């Protein structure tokens, strides 16, 4: 098992390295001069040149990359070009919100998606399964920001049950913290639930027709045990794959959801940085998102190995 994990980690390192180069170069494709943006229209050429020198923008791009990578490895993400705050501090302030939002939406997504997937998978031709299928398609098609605004209007503006936005730290007021995260987590979790439900339902429906299910039934195993121990274990692998891929969508969704619900997370930090051309913040947050995506995919690979010993042993690839 450890060798399997080690192989996966070795594959992840060059991916992260490649992503860092792509990310660094991407910013040079964006229009505009960071120095001119920071200093404004009234900046003199001398002021511009001084700032470019300070930011090392006058150096060759490969050298700039090496400086950036060196600083990154030392844990120095630079300072915000807009407010001068250390980028690491800005990220540390915003990370808990993004993590709570992501975790909350995953919990909602897995709970709703798991339940709906099992119901639809067990009785694929029932009216309930068709309803779930319709709701899944709708949830996948609805854009996150639009769903968020609809939920906001219904539950905050019309019913007044939940806040329309803002965030209260759990340590300050746990009840208000949970209230502030309900709508964003539901907004973000619905899409995950729909995808998960669809994959799980298909997996269960397919597994139910396999010989091992007939054997288990013939042996007189209780239906619940057949479902949970045998059917689900086979059906869950494609669902985990979907969940891993879904994480990328989740990262994009976090940006939009945080903006709609005005949550001070990494998404709004990135959004504001993009608007203000705060390059160091953009680089750091995007790299963090890429690293998170790689980590989740690594975890997904490991989960395959845990659930299915054939994958761990590499038999499937042969």
Partner 1 sequence: MAVSTLTRRNFLAAGTTILGAGAPLSAFLRSAAARAADTQTLTVGTNIPFTTLDPNTINTSVFPFRNAVFDPLIDILVTDIAKYQLGDIQTELASGYTVNKDFTEIRMRIRDGVKFHDGSAMTPDAVAAALKYAIDPKTGGTMAGSLADIASVAVDGNEVVMKTSAPSVDALYRLTLFRVQAPSGFAHNANTPIGTGPFKFVEYEPGDHLTLERFPGYWKQIPSNIKTLTFRFFTDPEAMLNSALSGELDILQFGLLKDAGALKSGGWTAYAAPIADYEMLVLNYTDPKSALGNENIRQAIARAIDRKAIVKNVYYDLVQPITIPMSPSSPTYDPAIAAEWDFNLTAAAEFVKKSGIANPSFNLRTGTNDPDGQKIAQIVKGDLAKIGVTANIALVDPTTLVNDAVIGNFQANVYACSIGVPEVQDFEDCSVYRPNKGPFSGDKTFPNYKQAYYAAAAVVDPPARIAAFKHVFEILHQDAWAIPICMRGLLCGQSKQTSGVVYDAKTHLVYQGIVKS
Which residues form the interface with partner 1 (CB under 8 A)? 31-33, 36-37, 40-42, 80, 82-85, 90, 93, 118-119, 122, 126-128, 145, 149, 152-153, 156-157, 159-167, 175-176, 179, 208, 223-224, 226-227, 231, 258-262, 264, 268-269, 271-272, 275-277
Q: Taking the complex as a whole, how short is the minimal distance between the CB of residue 268 and partner 1, in angstroms? A: 5
Phi, psi angle pair for 104, to nearest 5°: -60, -45
Q: Taking the complex as a whole, how short is the minimal distance between the CB of residue 157 and partner 1, in angstroms? A: 5
Cβ–Cβ under 8 Å, residues 241 and 311: no
Cβ–Cβ under 8 Å, residues 311 and 305: yes
Which has the closest alpha carbon to 13: 294, 314, 287? Answer: 294
Q: Pick the closer one to partner 1 by CB: 183 or 240.
A: 183
Q: Pick the closer one to partner 1 by CB: 31 or 60.
A: 31
Q: Pick the closer one to partner 1 by CB: 272 or 300.
A: 272
Q: Taking the complex as a whole, how short is the minimal distance between the CB of residue 164 and partner 1, in angstroms? A: 4
Q: Pick the closer one to partner 1 by CB: 235 or 311.
A: 235
Q: Taking the complex as a whole, how short is the minimal distance between the CB of residue 188 and partner 1, in angstroms? A: 15
Cβ–Cβ under 8 Å, residues 235 and 203: yes
Q: Taking the complex as a whole, how short is the minimal distance between the CB of residue 264 and partner 1, in angstroms? A: 3
Instruction: Give SS3 for 168.
Output: coil
Q: Taking the complex as a whole, how short is the minimal distance between the CB of residue 147 and partner 1, in angstroms? A: 13
- Going by the DSSP 8-state scheme, the letter that residue 125 receives in this structure is T
- The C-alpha atoms of residue 190 and residue 146 are separated, in whole angstroms, by 12
Q: What's the 3-state SS for 50-106?
A: HHHHHCCCCCCHHHHHHHHHHHHHCCCCCECCCCCCEHHHHHHHHHHHHHHHHHHHH
Q: Pick the closer one to partner 1 by CB: 9 or 149.
A: 149
Cβ–Cβ under 8 Å, residues 260 and 269: no
- The C-alpha atoms of residue 29 and residue 32 are separated, in whole angstroms, by 9
Burial class (CB in 10 A: 0-12, 13-18, 19+), 203: buried
Q: Pick the closer one to partner 1 by CB: 149 or 237.
A: 149
Q: Pick the closer one to partner 1 by CB: 34 or 244.
A: 34
Structure tokens at 110: 């897995």
Q: Taking the complex as a whole, how short is the minimal distance between the CB of residue 118 and partner 1, in angstroms? A: 8
Q: Taking the complex as a whole, how short is the minimal distance between the CB of residue 125 and partner 1, in angstroms? A: 11
- The C-alpha atoms of residue 254 and residue 265 are separated, in whole angstroms, by 8
Q: Pick the closer one to partner 1 by CB: 259 or 289.
A: 259
């Amino acid at each position: 098992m450890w060798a399997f994990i080690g192989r996966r980690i070795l594959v992840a390192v060059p991916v992260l390295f490649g992503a860092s180069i792509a990310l660094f170069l991407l910013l040079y494709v964006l229009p505009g001069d960071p120095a001119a943006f920071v200093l404004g229209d009234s900046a003199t050429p001398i002021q511009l040149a001084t700032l470019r020198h300070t930011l090392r923008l006058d150096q060759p791009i490969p050298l700039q990359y090496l400086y950036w990578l060196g600083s990154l490895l030392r844990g120095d993400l630079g300072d915000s070009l807009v407010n001068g705050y250390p980028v690491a501090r800005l990220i540390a302030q915003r990370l808990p919100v993004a993590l709570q939002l992501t975790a909350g939406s995953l919990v909602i997504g897995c709970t709703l998606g798991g339940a709906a997937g099992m119901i639809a998978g067990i009785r694929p031709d029932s009216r309930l399964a068709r309803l779930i299928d319709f709701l899944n398609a709708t949830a996948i098609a609805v854009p996150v920001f639009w769903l968020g605004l609809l939920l906001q209007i219904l539950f905050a503006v019309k019913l007044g049950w939940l806040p329309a936005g803002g965030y209260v730290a759990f340590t300050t007021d746990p009840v208000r913290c949970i209230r502030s995260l309900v709508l964003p987590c539901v907004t973000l979790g619905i899409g995950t639930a729909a995808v998960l439900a669809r994959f799980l339902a298909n997996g269960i429906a397919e597994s139910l027709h396999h010989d091992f299910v007939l054997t288990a039934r013939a042996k007189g195993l209780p239906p619940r045990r057949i479902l949970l121990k045998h059917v689900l274990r086979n059906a869950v692998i494609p669902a985990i794959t979907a969940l891993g891929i879904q994480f990328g969508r989740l990262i994009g969704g976090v940006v939009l959801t945080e903006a709609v619900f005005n949550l001070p997370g990494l998404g709004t930090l990135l959004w504001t940085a993009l608007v203000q051309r705060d390059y160091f913040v953009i680089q750091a947050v995007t790299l963090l998102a890429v690293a998170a995506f790689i980590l989740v995919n690594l975890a997904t690979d490991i989960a395959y190995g845990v659930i299915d010993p054939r994958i761990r042993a590499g038999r499937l690839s042969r």
